[in-house]
Chain A
């Protein structure tokens, strides 16, 4: 429909003339801007009498060329002239790109920012933990404000609905430990020790640790996303104005639910892991389940179970607190909810593993090994 824009250079007595023709619109410009950029001045006039259509992008192209080469614009249709005048009047310095920072300063700045963020997050987490304790204390003094329904509802979401996935995961982990352990132990002819390995490892460490990771992924993230969204939609502010404390109504029920559910889920996971180990031993090592469980009772001290069960509520507390804390930190936009949810899960798993290391040292120190 529209003719492509084209360009011709001519010499006349008044100096050189740049003759543009066709349609100077974005769709028909093609390589005209580049060709205009290649023109070296001086050019006396830019002649637009053969231009049959122009949009602001064409007008801008003409304007910048005329400005660069110091030329006059002639022969423009009144409409075209109006567009050129309009865009010419808009030719002010405008910042387009963010100010660039030298690489060294940027790197140092980013490291500093990361350190200060990590520090303030830890501090904030500690503060949030304190606020939770204060809320818990006020709830103990006014037990009538305790929200039983909210807690029980969280029991279901955090605990009961997680049974399937945690059970399956633990069963498979039991199988993997038994299988990998038996391959190594066979070299020493001590396949029976597979039972020690499965029993002690799952009750002491893996049962609770894997449950904590799963709960952090399922519930910690959900807490962060729920509270974050409520923060964005100003639900939490609305709660405060009505006089309901979000700590009591939202954070405490969730925290309590996870603290109570974690030992139960951890115990359940350990049992399922042992079953997985027994299953593999029966199939691959010809150790009948009866023998497996008899030996399990002999080699796994009851303190191993206590080790797992003592750690579980602490892990639960960490998961719930970091999920709720990150959720409450959301402000601004929807993107923040995603970032905070990720942060909640990463932080929870990291802290769980750090605390687990401390527990390992502690239990060795008290002689439960």
Chain B
């Protein structure tokens, strides 16, 4: 706003303002570049080739900086009702200056590195770095290249403003295609090889695992063509779905569900080890994230010791299943252990939840953090070693067969059938009771809901049959999942995630969900509107704890061995970041958050698709967290409500601007 008003008054002042902004952007970009290089990201990524001889990922991690800052420097706050200045040459020029400054700073860093001996302090500023960044020439030609290159890239960033949407989309498609094919080389290679298509793999990828130029061009062409072809079509599908009536939506929802289940069962078979492993980690963190989402996102209780519940789940599973558990060895199978895991989670949730329930928001954060540490320290201590194995942890968790050493889960479909039967029976019984009550005119029928007698009896009879059959032949079919088989681990975690999504979703749209929301909004008022904050907060803690403990049990059986070391504060923080980046209070947000962070960057101890990020992912987590909080606190894919609430002022202004012309029937 100030820039606009100033420009109408005094052109000179605007220029001064702009110049300062450009130089500041340039300096920040330079600092960012220097940081990326000095923490060693450049060299670590340089080993990976994107397009084989031309482009390495190292250049990529420094190239985005000038592009981004070149773009950002000419972003102006969009104000509804005000015409911004037209993008044009000034954007390009501003970008170029930013890039030149940034490049010069990087060049300076290289020169300093070469001249003074600062390697003692900055471990990554090595001669190799100097050599690579002077591009085979002398230091000064290198610096010149950096300045010019930076200017060109940043000018391109600035020029992005002048492109139309179509061009931008095509550029984005190109970039994404190249990135996807080069960074997913391992995954694509796995899939091709398992399909017996090794020659194609050899044709696409050079021995360095970088894309060869020819296929790169080909894929880009295909992607752009597809993009143009499908333009707007996905939108139409969405609209058509919305236009359907409830019945049609239900039908297609069912179809989509069946397809999803079929894909979940089938796809892991061709995914290959690496992708399956990454995906099962993603699943684990979705599970943990959904649990924390109930505590933080729904009820607004910032639990920084969430890892405690994860640890409780993992250790309970370990103690009751492992034959090598130090004290107590009932040697249960995985599914036998689950009820105990959940029970311990409830106890832990109540135990940790109770003392913190009446504490102020940030005290709650620090005390839960304290509890998380207490549990880890206790597990690690010599004092409790006789129970939990101390620093050595517990090995041989959930062996598949007694005496064996391979961890795993055995699914007896008889029991699965019985559980399904129980659920059908409960649902059927509820419906039957309701139908009877309506028939006797004890209650009004629910508007818009009819329970057909046929479905009800099917549920009742089918349920009983299923229970009977399941219990009579518990092992008529079994499925043995070995902990180190990522494809199956991914499938099983999908089941857990589905349950967690179901529970989160149903709880959110209910009186409990509303009560949590009210507590999050204003605890005091919630209480004076008749909400029992004690029970509702405890319920949130317990639900969160149960999901975390399920995750813990899965984690334990996946690794087969657990140590206290796996349950440090950082785990809590990372789960929190997943929830926040996705969007607090949003189920789909948690999924997106886990896919983006855990899938691409990797979890605290888990590898992501970007394997080179291993050392830097936590740095990236920090940057992402800060950036999100400053620019998009509602997360990547928030519930609409949450987005509204964090942009209250703007929404208010918009509403005001819009309602300015229309007069309401009241003066208020």
B and A form one assembly:
no
Interface residues, chain A, with chain B CB atoms under 8 Å away: none
